[in-house]
Structure 1
């Protein structure tokens, strides 16, 4: 990448090609070869939605328009690549029209930044402030090898990626006050929320190529984009230190929302231009999460509090694989009381496209989930959540309940067996004279079980793509899953029983709520095996048929 930080032609997007090769491309290059690119190879998983939303997707949608009908979407998808005419429009968009708006160090309109941005104090901060996984200020990761005092020389490609990351995921709370911002008090700006994606449990559907991924993330808009909806680089005036609280004006505005005012400072080194110092100040604040948000599932409340929307973004839970949250991803109808999860707009759209015959049952759809967990008033990053799973397209069809119900039952069974193991563990501890583990302490056998069967669940989901209405095949898959759970649960239970001291056989009486209860290892084991048979009826029947002891 040249010293001006040209994102159109400079190689800043690392890619993995369909044939396994690796290279770095600029925006124009990666779009030209989108049908040959398998995926972007980014430093951290949470960077994928940042790059998609802040650059690739809005460029394509603004230059080519959003598909207006399912047939138009299907025609684009079936071609598998941009047409020569579409590439000409993209070249014009990233050339004569807006090419100069995609330079990191443009003197008037640096990309996603404010030209000449200066802190009230006149100070600059280390570029570590862009990277939340490195110690900086109050954000001190446990295993960071650098501190705020250390210099971090970011290449221009790295700086561009972390710039987009900051616009989407930056921490909240106090920010450096900027000269020219009338809302600065005592050199600082307070009350800043996290970046827009920090409010979401992000869900990104992915395809076989980057081209397909772009289309899977493109909404079908019968009326097209809103006339007043523009991406951040297409504004009448360049960004200034002043910011506002406002709703998104449309999808392009939402995806390229500038939640921070940032300035990257280039530094000449013996290895070329690097970014060592930055200025990061308060940026625009979303008044509310737009209901047209594409990349999240929702929690629906039938009777929200005054001033609250009935739909609020649903976040991912730390420590849980993405398949454990399939109940939310496959939620197309609300519970009887009107409260509960609903799936994302894009997953619902993919299901509709499958129902209309525009996607095949065996299409290898992938789901990337990611999110950040913040702590201490959202001013620090405590944990990053990321996973990817295969998902049968047919499970997204609202009219086809067999496959979806089978998948949800498999997920529920894993949860039931894990909870049964945890209860067995608790009962064995009580029988031996101990106490139940606190909810947030210690390793639990249920978690070990879920980890042990994780790979088999992913294989099951991939295999269910090929069911295509074959209920016998679906039933065999469910039985195989139950046998997997059965074997894994018995392995864990046997280890727990082997580690239980002999005094647990005699047990002890515990008085709870004026009631005496006998806790004995034999009783706990008998309850567990009964619970297992009830949770896994197919496996229990298969074991009985073959004469295998439980």
Structure 2
């Protein structure tokens, strides 16, 4: 990127081409040549939705408009690239129309910032406050290579990415009071929520090229965009009656999003990057992060989250709220949520994202092939201490068989959900075995929130197997019941072997006194715990879960007896 921080033409986004070659591109090239790009190489998993929402999607949608029918979406998708007319419109949008608004260090209108923003105390902070993995203030990661006293120098491209990351994922900590902000008190602003994405379990469908990923993340709206809906760089074009505060000024408000473009580019903070010149070029070394707009409520038009539906919510609460990811769980363990295509009107339960429902509709309408190689990336942040610090980052990606997004009674869907459920049941059975062995040895079961559990090791060991299963099932025909049955048997065999390994490890670690065991009284009842009995209970439980393997073993036993 050049010294002016030109996001349109400066080479600041690392892109991996379809040939595997990595090169740096600017915003215009990333869009115009999206069909040649396999993926963007970004510093952290939580950055993909940031770049999509704050830059690529709103530029594309505002310049070209939303598709209004499945057929229009399909024509764009199957073309596989932007047409010459669309490329010209993108170039005009990022050139004569708004090109000057994508400059990181513009003195009058710096991109996604407030020009001349000043703290009430006159101080600035290190650029580390932009990066969650670097120590800053109360946010002190355990393995941070830098302390708050160290100076962090960000290249312009890096600074641009972390600037947008703050707008999406920032913590809810106290923010610096800004000069000109009437709501700042005693030099600070309290009560800040996290960034909008910090309140979601983000789900991003992905394709085989960046172009396909952009289309898969583009909603189909029959009426198109709202007339008053504008992205953050065109805030001055919003009608005054909407009550939106200028994004380029210190003032802010709590409000609803005025439309899709506003939602995607929501300015949750007021920020100013401060650059210096070094021997290596322009670097961002200081920053001011102040309170920004607060999203009153996540709208149901939010495309990048699954939902938790509550049939009878408490007074004043909506029926649907964003569903967050669970820390420590792989994305495939949440397939029940990703594949929840039907709204549970009469009961509580999950409901998948708007975009995955749209993709299912596109397949149902014949626009997308059932063999399309769909992927899903999930991301989220886990906050701690009143959401003022980042405790953990959640990120995963997995192949997803497209046919599994169809009818609720679809065979492929049932196969996948059964496989996930089997893994979960076996994991719990292993934890039960571990607790019984601990009791037999004279100890107590592990507390629910402490200790290393065999279930975690078991599920981690199954991860690669599940991903191979998902990738293989993407090409299975819906009526190929025999192949599905063979796939389930192969899955159960892998689960059985993984469970056997873990059980043998637990039994080997049990002390000799576990063989004799002990008797535990609980009220009027007595319970006998011995290692042999614990293993027997576990084997019985395993056979009831992995029924195909059990039947296969039984059949082989009968054949051997007959011989």
Same fold (TM over 0.5): yes
Partner of residue 240, structure 2: none
Render the CA deviation track for 1:23-50: whole Å, top value 9, x for unaligned.
Answer: 1111101111100000000000100000
1:395 to 2:404 alignment: yes
- Determine if contact 1:109/1:238 at 8 Å carries over to the other structure: no
The Cα shift of 1:511 comes to 1.6
Partner of residue 526, structure 1: 536
Partner of residue 373, structure 1: 382
Render the CA deviation track for 1:397-440: whole Å, top value 9, x for unaligned.
Answer: 12661110110000000000000011011001101111101112
Partner of residue 6, structure 1: 6
- Determine if contact 2:515/2:530 at 8 Å carries over to the other structure: yes
CA distance in 2, matches of 1:358, 1:514: 65
- Determine if contact 2:69/2:221 at 8 Å carries over to the other structure: yes
1:57 to 2:57 alignment: yes
Partner of residue 460, structure 1: 469
The Cα shift of 1:173 comes to 2.5
1:313 to 2:322 alignment: yes
**1:207-356 matches, cutoff 5 A:** 207-236=207-236, 239-335=248-344, 337-356=346-365
1:498 to 2:518 alignment: no
Question: Which deviates more, 177-186 or 439-448?
Answer: 439-448
CA distance in 1, matches of 2:293, 2:222: 29
CA distance in 2, matches of 1:427, 1:399: 38
CA distance in 1, matches of 2:341, 2:20: 37
1:477 to 2:492 alignment: no
Render the CA deviation track for 1:373-419: whole Å, top value 9, x for unaligned.
Answer: 01111111000000000000000112661110110000000000000
CA distance in 2, matches of 1:331, 1:382: 29
- Look up the SS of the partner of 2:235 in the other structure: coil
Partner of residue 36, structure 1: 36
Partner of residue 181, structure 1: 181
CA distance in 2, matches of 1:4, 1:503: 73
Change (3 A) 1:546 1:103: same
- Look up the SS of the partner of 1:234 in the other structure: helix
CA distance in 1, matches of 2:11, 2:266: 24
- Look up the SS of the partner of 1:67 in the other structure: coil
Residue 551 (structure 2) aligned to one of 529, 541, 549: 541
Q: Which runs of 5+ in 2 are unaligned?
A: 237-245
The Cα shift of 1:514 comes to 3.6
Partner of residue 202, structure 1: 202
- Determine if contact 2:307/2:320 at 8 Å carries over to the other structure: yes
Partner of residue 357, structure 1: 366
Partner of residue 458, structure 2: 449
1:139 to 2:124 alignment: no
1:431 to 2:410 alignment: no
CA distance in 1, matches of 2:103, 2:345: 52
Partner of residue 75, structure 1: 75
Partner of residue 243, structure 2: none
- Look up the SS of the partner of 2:74 in the other structure: helix
User: TM-score w.r.t. structure 2 length?
Assistant: 0.96
- Determine if contact 2:341/2:408 at 8 Å carries over to the other structure: no
Partner of residue 172, structure 2: 172
The Cα shift of 1:505 comes to 2.2
Could you list the structure 1 runs, at least 4 aligned residues long, displaced by more than 3 angstroms after superposition.
334-337, 546-549
CA distance in 1, matches of 2:477, 2:442: 53
- Determine if contact 1:431/1:521 at 8 Å carries over to the other structure: yes
Change (3 A) 1:120 1:336: closer
1:383 to 2:392 alignment: yes
The Cα shift of 1:289 comes to 0.8
Render the CA deviation track for 1:146-189: whole Å, top value 9, x for unaligned.
Answer: 11111111000000000010110011131000000001100000
CA distance in 2, matches of 1:485, 1:337: 35
CA distance in 2, matches of 1:336, 1:121: 52
Residue 428 (structure 2) aligned to one of 410, 419, 426: 419
The Cα shift of 1:504 comes to 1.7
Render the CA deviation track for 1:346-395: whole Å, top value 9, x for unaligned.
Answer: 00101111111111122111100000001111111000000000000000
- Determine if contact 2:247/2:267 at 8 Å carries over to the other structure: no
- Determine if contact 1:171/1:193 at 8 Å carries over to the other structure: yes
CA distance in 1, matches of 2:33, 2:408: 37
The Cα shift of 1:453 comes to 1.1
- Determine if contact 1:351/1:398 at 8 Å carries over to the other structure: no
Partner of residue 156, structure 1: 156
- Determine if contact 1:297/1:328 at 8 Å carries over to the other structure: yes
- Look up the SS of the partner of 2:62 in the other structure: helix
